[in-house]
């Protein structure tokens, strides 16, 4: 069986990710950025649902669930441009995808944990790609001269 402590650590990584922090402390955005906000809100909700799946599995295994806390360095991101923030989110989602993918192999023999880790890794990768596309779309719009 995949170690519950390691599963909890990954649940903390997801639940206290920069993406979840952004969901709780949305940066200033203009009216012309509502589509970006809609995409981010959906991605944040999807990741939050995955965190709940991790917590449910840990609870079923009678493991004490630690939720951790957000890193204090996130507070320095309150007054940054959305373009800068998107780049940070892409990087962190890619790192999460890599960490979760590595854990998939470690969970061999624990089908329930392995399935959850694989789905979470794929989701983090998709989120990174969506965020990168969002950032690229913003850059292409900002370089268009009217």
CATH value at residue 100: 1.20.1260.10
Name the pTM for this structure: 0.91
Q: Which residue has the higher pLDDT, 31 or 113?
A: 113
Range of the domain at 70: 4-141
Structural domain includes residue 41: yes
73-100 burial, b at 16+ Cβ within 10 Å, e below that, comes to ebeebeeeebeebbebbbebbbebbebb
Is 146 part of a structural domain of the chain?
no
Q: What is the pLDDT of residue 18?
A: 96
Q: What is the pLDDT of residue 19?
A: 95
Indicate whether 82 pLDDT > 60: yes
Looking at the 3D structure of the chain, how many domains does it have?
1
| The pLDDT value given to residue 34 | 80
Answer yes or no: is pLDDT of 144 > 60: no
- pLDDT of the residue at 45: 97
* Cβ neighbours for 14, distance < 8 A, ≥ 6 positions apart: 20, 47, 50, 51, 54, 96, 120, 124
| Higher per-residue confidence, 108 vs 145 | 108
Is 45 domain-assigned? yes
Does the structure show a pLDDT above 90 at 31? no
Q: Note whether residue 99 is domain-resident.
A: yes
| pLDDT at residue number 70 | 96
Give 87-97 pLDDT, tens digit per residue: 999 999 999 99
Question: For position 141, what pLDDT does the model report?
Answer: 65
């Amino acid at each position: 069986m995949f170690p519950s402590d390691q599963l909890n650590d990954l649940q903390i990584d997801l639940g206290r990710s920069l993406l979840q922090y952004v969901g709780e402390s949305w940066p200033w955005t203009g009216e012309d950025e509502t589509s970006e906000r809609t995409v981010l809100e959906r991605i944040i909700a999807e990741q939050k649902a995955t965190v709940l799946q991790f917590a449910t599995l840990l609870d079923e295994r009678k493991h004490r669930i630690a939720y951790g806390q957000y890193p204090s360095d996130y507070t320095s991101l309150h007054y940054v441009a959305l373009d800068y923030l998107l780049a940070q989110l892409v990087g962190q989602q890619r790192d999460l995808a890599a960490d979760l993918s590595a854990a998939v192999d470690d969970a061999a023999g624990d089908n329930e944990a392995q399935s959850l880790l694989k789905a979470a890794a794929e989701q983090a990768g998709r989120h990174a790609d969506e965020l990168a596309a969002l950032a690229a779309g913003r850059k292409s719009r900002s370089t268009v001269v009217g």
